[in-house]
């Protein structure tokens, strides 16, 4: 049994995800960049990709490195898919990574795993934004989530709300009386209204390319991104406007 398994969540059935995952950066797809960033983590004992729809599998296999397994699951909801994946790839704990989060940071993954393992019987660990919300839901998109395999199976048995079943960790972190939940403060340098690293449209992609062009493809850790953005007031202004627009939509 693995101690900690990284699961990259991918859904080619979503038009937005498909568009993002196939964007090219340095000759590689965005999805491959995310997977390689995940495999750079020192605290993950393995990484797999979960195909979130039966139609995903052939498309995914073209963009996933050959040394990373792809788990195909035909179950209707995401929580069940993760539970089935864990039955085949047994692990004590899981780190969930969104497949289109280009700037996922291996160092933040490692910090998350270390923090979770230091807490007795921790069920879930994640980064928390200054407003009290999970940072994994923010438009910063450098974060992963950690949760124990037993907690996932328990959530799979108990969750009945469709939203809880589609958002893998929601049932766990919204019920601190049922599960032991731990929040790590998100780094203040990027936990800001004028920082946006998600890729939801062409403007976001243009910003991502500017950041990668400035820092290089092998050096976009969150600290370097924060340092670069601190000298880019015009870009931060555009990011803030996009954050407001999407928050109000």
Q: Where are the domains of the chain?
A: 2-185, 202-247
Q: What is the DSSP letter of 201?
A: S
Q: Which of the four CATH numbers 1.25.40.10, 3.40.190.150, 3.90.550.10, 3.40.190.10 does domain 2-185 have?
A: 3.90.550.10
In order along its 249 residues, the chain shows pLDDT tens digits of 899 999 999 877 677 777 777 788 888 888 899 999 999 999 999 999 998 765 566 767 788 888 999 998 778 889 999 999 999 999 999 999 999 899 999 999 999 999 999 999 999 999 999 999 999 999 999 999 999 999 999 999 999 999 999 999 999 999 999 999 999 999 999 999 999 999 989 999 999 999 999 998 877 899 999 999 999 999 999 999 999 999 876
Beta strand extents in 99-155 (DSSP E only): 124-128, 145-148
Distance, in Å, from the CA atom of 52 to the CA atom of 21, rounded to the nearest integer, reads 14
Q: What local confidence, expressed as pLDDT, does residue 56 receive?
A: 61
3-state secondary structure at position 223: helix
| Cβ-Cβ contacts under 8 Å for 46 (sequence gap 6 or more) | 2, 5, 6, 89, 91
Q: What local confidence, expressed as pLDDT, does residue 193 receive?
A: 96
Distance, in Å, from the CA atom of 229 to the CA atom of 27, rounded to the nearest integer, reads 25
């Amino acid at each position: 049994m693995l101690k900690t398994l990284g699961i990259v969540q991918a859904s080619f059935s979503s038009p937005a995800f498909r568009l993002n995952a196939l964007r090219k950066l340095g000759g590689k797809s965005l999805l491959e960049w995310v997977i390689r960033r995940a495999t750079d983590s020192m605290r993950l004992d393995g990484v797999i990709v979960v195909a979130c729809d039966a139609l995903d599998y052939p498309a995914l296999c073209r963009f996933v490195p050959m040394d990373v397994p792809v788990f195909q699951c035909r179950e209707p909801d995401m929580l069940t898919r993760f539970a089935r994946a864990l039955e085949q790839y047994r692990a004590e704990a899981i780190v969930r990574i969104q497949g289109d989060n280009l700037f996922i940071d291996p160092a933040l993954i490692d910090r998350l795993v270390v923090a979770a393992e230091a807490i007795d019987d921790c069920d879930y660990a994640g980064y928390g934004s200054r407003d009290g919300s999970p940072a994994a839901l923010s438009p910063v998109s450098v974060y992963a989530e950690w949760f124990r395999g037993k907690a996932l199976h328990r959530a799979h048995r108990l969750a009945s709300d469709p939203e809880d079943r589609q958002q893998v960790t929601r049932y766990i972190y919204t019920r601190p009386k049922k599960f032991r939940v731990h929040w790590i403060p998100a780094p203040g340098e990027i936990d800001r209204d004028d920082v946006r690293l998600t890729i939801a449209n062409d403007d976001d992609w243009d910003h991502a390319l500017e950041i990668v062009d400035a820092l290089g493809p092998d050096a976009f850790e969150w600290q370097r991104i924060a340092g670069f953005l601190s000298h880019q007031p015009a870009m931060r202004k555009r990011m803030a406007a996009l954050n407001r627009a999407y928050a109000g939509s």
